Structure 1
Amino acid sequence: MGIKRLDNIAIVVESLDEAISFFELLGMKLHGRAFIEGDFADIAVELEGIKSEIAVLETPDGHSRIELSQYLNPPPIAQQPPAQNALGVHRLMFNVDDIDQTLADLGAEPINGIAQYQETYRLSYLRGPSGIILALAQDI
């Protein structure tokens, strides 16, 4: 009984194409893309008249997946990006070979620089598409 594995983390985004491109730059692979609508979706998500397009991306090691959703109906609710100490999902963290190169590849700026924890790892937070907070960790 209990959990077998984490299947995926779902994130609602403003632009599915932009979010897919961003996560592909991180090295994730597009696993599939589909439109979701009908009674099943309405019941599962507890909204009426759902129509969304989703994309599932997989980490290079094949162990983790992200499901990105762009709602076409009902329209998505735009909110200010959450503060780092807001309740709920805080961030997604990815281990990378080189933080500096990854930030350059993404064309992203760290939220507040790059921190180093002892002689263990370097860590940087950044905002991705739709305000998603990401952390990049580089082992030293």
Structure 2
Amino acid sequence: MTIQRMDNVGVVVDDLAAVTAFFVALGLELEGEATVGGPEVDVLVGLEGVRCDMAVVRTPDGHGRLELMKFHAPAAPTADRDAPVNAFGLRRIMFAVEDIEAVLTRARSHGAEPLGELVQYGDSHRLAYIRGPEGLIVALAENLG
């Protein structure tokens, strides 16, 4: 047996609407929204009394998805939303973009802040790291070839 594909990455958030709007502004598409809970979900995730709203956003090519989740119950523990990019754990999501300047402008309109500066690597790529809503780190890469 081998892994067939990566289906999605789950991201727990507090303000589901703001985070969804941020990723849509970056160019992802809203695939769907749902509320989940009940005994099956409790058993699956190892928690009791789960009630969770979720939104799934996908890349335009349909191959990458983020499952954005707002847990109403049980209450989520607090997290360090200002953790640096070198902190342990899943730290960033990278997207290939066509016009990095335009994407950065849209991201800033949703509260994103640059972590550093836009960098160009020779004639091949331009890269930028930003911190979006709730401290989420997103990397953007524009292929110049």
Aligned partner of residue 7 in structure 1, secondary structure: coil
Shift of 1:116: 1.5
Tell me whether 13-22 or 73-82 shows the greater mean CA deviation.
73-82
In the alignment, is the contact (CA less than 8 A) between 1:96 and 1:136 conserved in 2? yes
Q: Distance in 2 between matches of 1:104 and 1:94?
A: 15
Identity %: 41
What secondary structure does 2:114 align onto? coil
* Candidates 101, 122, 129, aligned match of 1:118: 122
CA distance in 1, matches of 2:44, 2:122: 45
Which aligned segments of 4 or more residues in structure 1 are displaced greater than 2 angstroms?
none
Q: CA deviation at 1:99?
A: 1.5
Q: Which moved more, 1:54-63 or 1:101-110?
A: 101-110
State the partner residue of 1:130: 134
Write out aligned runs for 1:1-140 (5 A): 1-81=1-81, 82-107=83-108, 108-140=112-144
Conservation of the 8 A alpha-carbon contact between 1:34 and 1:54: yes
Give the letter for the 2:106 counterpart: D
Structure 2 unpaired stretches of 5+: none
Q: Distance in 2 between matches of 1:123 and 1:91?
A: 13
Gaps of 5+ in 1: none
**What displacement does 1:109 show?**
3.1
The answer (yes or no) to whether the contact 1:33–1:55 under 8 Å persists in 2 is yes
TM-score (structure 1 length as normaliser): 0.94
